[in-house]
Amino acid sequence: MNNKNSLSIAKRYAKSLIEIMLESDNTQAEIREDLNNVKEILKNSPDLNSAMTNPVVSAYDKEQIISSVFERDTKETTRNFLKLLVEKNRFNLIFQIIDTFNEMLNKINNIVKVQVTGAIELEDNTKEEIQNKLKEKLNKEIDISYKVDNSIIAGLIYKIEDDVLDTSFLHKLEELKKELIK
């Protein structure tokens, strides 16, 4: 299955999950947290992930695994959705579906994901100032994460969804180098 096709399928399942969630008694935050926990568990347990995507393991066994592994820490809505993925033989798309679901919820709630990379760990007051300025400029709620990459020397790199604003010293040096070569 090509990537475009699998993304299309992931979108359909994510949309369906949003519809199921809206009809249930669960909040967006509960289902989002459940799915992010499922994702982490699967990433941290290659054997579990392998069993859940292995075509040799029966759907019944996979449903039993879901019940036993996720019974305590997830809502029934989430477990039923995972079982649906098993039933429809789409569990191999779980990571794409979760990512797409989160993106769709962000769009619904007018939230933009931002990653800020700095050469050093930023202080809390600086982080708060950056978040407030971005919220004001973008006129949206901000879901912000911070990363440290000392190779950029100084400055910041802002990744706002698919756009990148690079104010790092390394970037400025590279631009200067290009100008000198011309």
Maximum distance among all Cα pairs of the chain, rounded to whole angstroms: 65
One domain, residues 89 and 169: no
Q: What is the pTM of this model?
A: 0.78
One domain, residues 125 and 100: no
- Residue 108: CB atoms within 10 A of its CB come to 10
Cα 144 from chain centre: 12
One domain, residues 74 and 49: yes
Closest by Cα among 162, 170, 165, 102 to 130:
165
One domain, residues 98 and 9: yes
One domain, residues 100 and 116: no
One domain, residues 78 and 162: no
Domain, as residue range, for 151: 112-181
Structural domain ending residue among the three candidates 107, 122, 153: 107
Instruction: List residues bridging with 144 in a β-sheet.
Output: 114
Residue-wise pLDDT tens for the chain (182 aa)? 677 888 899 999 999 999 999 998 899 999 999 999 999 999 999 999 999 999 999 999 999 999 999 988 899 999 999 999 999 999 999 999 999 999 999 999 999 999 999 999 999 999 999 999 999 999 999 999 999 999 998 989 999 988 999 988 888 888 888 888 87
Structural domain ending residue among the three candidates 107, 128, 157: 107
Structural domain ending residue among the three candidates 49, 77, 107: 107
Instruction: List residues bridging with 166 in a β-sheet.
Output: 157
One domain, residues 121 and 163: yes
